[in-house]
Chain A
Amino acid sequence: AQSVAQPEDQVNVAEGNPLTVKCTYSVSGNPYLFWYVQYPNRGLQFLLKYITGDNLVKGSYGFEAEFNKSQTSFHLKKPSALVSDSALYFCAVRDPELIFGQGTELSVKP
């Protein structure tokens, strides 16, 4: 079965600094990988996906993710964090339904 793991429960970043939220995957074959964000008491919002091709994927709100096959990772990144980026972030893989990691709480302080 396909799975993803998010090794950090929480990430703290100062506003204006770059941020990274980590995700590793375990799949057979080529993975379809996704990142979602969840604000308090809300549903999930799609940020970006990797299907094939360029290893650097650009998504919504200035986020991007780097697919690394040798390290089986799909880390979410943003060059300059905003306080409004504070939320819960989920990595997911298609299996064929979406299977989610446990989530990472991102806190961006002014």
Chain B
Amino acid sequence: EAGVTQSPTHLIKTRGQQATLRCSPISGHTSVYWYQQALGLGLQFLLWYDEGEERNRGNFPPRFSGRQFPNYSSELNVNALELEDSALYLCASSFLGQGASEAFFGQGTRLTVV
């Protein structure tokens, strides 16, 4: 069974541009989570989607947005890129949005803003 897949693996953008990151969850999983892992800052929660709806967002500005499609895949969009947006962006999926189910992570997209 395929795990969580993210694309692209690496992305280089110029300050001010927009970046789009994609995530395909494990088959049957309805919840998708996005995290930012910047150097020295640990894992910061960005967004949670379940059944096509945004359920929660972390403490990030509105230029971080996303959506979940009917097939449960998801996109993360980052507008007006800043240098400090450079980070590893991780997507995770789980069967249930709450409760005891663990989340499974993709390998991440390394975003570099120059």
> Could you say which of B4, B99, B102 contacts A34, with CB atoms under 8 Å apart?
B102
Q: Does B103 contact A (CB under 8 A)?
A: yes
Asked whether A98 lies within 8 Å of B42 as measured between CB atoms, the reply is no
Asked whether B99 lies within 8 Å of A94 as measured between CB atoms, the reply is yes
**Shortest beta-carbon distance from A43 to chain B in Å:** 4
Q: Which residues of A contact B56 (CB under 8 A)?
A: 96-97
Task: Please report which residues of chain A, range 11-53, place their CB below 8 angstroms from some CB of chain B when the two chains form the complex.
Answer: 32, 34, 36, 41-46, 49, 51
Asked whether A102 lies within 8 Å of B45 as measured between CB atoms, the reply is no
Asked whether B33 lies within 8 Å of A97 as measured between CB atoms, the reply is yes
**A-B pairs with beta carbons under 8 A, tally:** 55
Task: Please report which residues of chain B, range 17-34, place their CB below 8 angstroms from some CB of chain A when the two chains form the complex.
Answer: 33
Q: Size range of the interface on A? A: 20 to 34
> Could you say which of A34, A43, A96, A102 contacts B107, with CB atoms under 8 Å apart?
A43
Asked whether B106 lies within 8 Å of A43 as measured between CB atoms, the reply is yes
**Shortest beta-carbon distance from A89 to chain B in Å:** 12
CA distance A27 to B103 in the complex (A): 19
> Could you say which of B55, B98, B100, B105 contacts A43, with CB atoms under 8 Å apart?
B105
Asked whether A100 lies within 8 Å of B90 as measured between CB atoms, the reply is no
CA distance A96 to B35 in the complex (A): 14
Q: Provide 6 A-B residue pairs closer than 8 Å at the C-beta atoms, listed in order of the A residue.
A: A32-B100, A43-B106, A43-B108, A44-B105, A49-B100, A99-B45
Residues of A within 8 A of B (CB): 32, 34, 36, 41-46, 49, 51, 90, 94, 96-103
